[in-house]
Amino acid sequence: MIYGFHISISGGLSKVTERAVRRGCGTIQIFSRNPRGWRYTALDPVEVETFKAQMRESAITPVVVHMPYLPNPASPDDELHRKSIDSLIEELRRADLLDSPFVVVHVGKHMGSTIDEALRRVASAVNAALAEVRNDVLLLLEGTAGQGSEVGCEFSQIRDVIAQVDEPHRVGVCLDTAHMFEAGYDVSTREGLDKTLAEFDDLVGLDKLHLLHLNDSATPLGSHKDRHWHIGKGEIGLEGFRIIVNHPKLKGLPGIMETPPGEEEDITNMQVIRSL
């Protein structure tokens, strides 16, 4: 498994590599712009080329781009749905410019609509974005904890989205260890992880799994509360992560940690995960 962190782009893309190297990253995830707003500026070509050269020199790969927080492709609101599609389109283009093979998007929130309608809206947003952008970037649907009106906390729901995608070969999945645990999948034991991966393989297919988010959970199994915590310090625990990172079906995958931020904490989390 290749380990890394979500790295801040504060100060520009040229600052990212130094932060990643200090943390011992073999892979990274970034936002390509402010994640808390809709407005954005075009990527600076000089910054982009500097960033890509630094990534090549450091041998950090892959670079993963994460969607901002505001888009909701499951939304029943037509304006928000349209803005979410536009955001997907933009991130697919920006990822291509950054030599990133993946864009991660949360499946979304139903906001009062039915689950089936929400999943249909997600698929329609994915279809619209992929039809507009013709490149090799894979769009990865990230499973959720099922907090509030979130959809995508069950593997069957991810399956149902992909079944409605016109170009399913351009879509994959990102699984978050905390989200799975909080959604009711017990990944803290070998028996539970085996059962979870078997169910995912049966419903979606392990060939669709391209990325892991490695986060411990501050809340109990099945809590449906999305609270990331430091590796081995939460409800999944140290032995749970030992099982996860050594599981043969997860071998070779990039594993991105999104634990509570702080350089010292990140370095400690990296030391812990590698020790397992």
Is 258 one of the annotated active-site residues of the chain? yes
Residue 242: both structure tokens together: 């030992």
Contact 231, 273 (CB under 8 A): yes
Percent of the chain surpassing pLDDT 90 = 100
Is 179 one of the annotated active-site residues of the chain? yes
Catalytic residue among 150, 154, 176, 216: 176
Q: What size, in residues, is the chain?
A: 276
CA 90, distance to chain mean position in Å, is 17
From the list 81, 83, 91, the residue with the least C-alpha distance to 133 is 91
Contact 141, 100 (CB under 8 A): no
Catalytic residue among 91, 142, 160, 216: 142
As a whole number, mean pLDDT of residues 175-180 equals: 98
Is 213 one of the annotated active-site residues of the chain? yes
pTM of the model: 0.97
Tell me the pLDDT tens digit for each residue of 26-46: 999 999 999 999 999 999 999
Q: How far is CA 274 from CA 103, 172, 255, in A?
A: 25, 26, 11
Classified by CATH at the fold level, domain 2-275 comes out as TIM Barrel (3.20.20)
- Helix intervals (H) in 59-189: 78-97, 115-132, 155-163, 177-183
Tell me the pLDDT tens digit for each residue of 96-131: 999 999 999 999 999 999 999 999 999 999 999 999
Is 176 one of the annotated active-site residues of the chain? yes
What does the domain layout of the chain look like in residue ranges? 2-275
DSSP state of 136: S
CB count within 10 Å of CB 167 equals 11
Compute the distance between CA of residue 122 and CA of residue 27 in angstroms, rounded to an integer.
28
Catalytic residue among 23, 93, 106, 230: 106
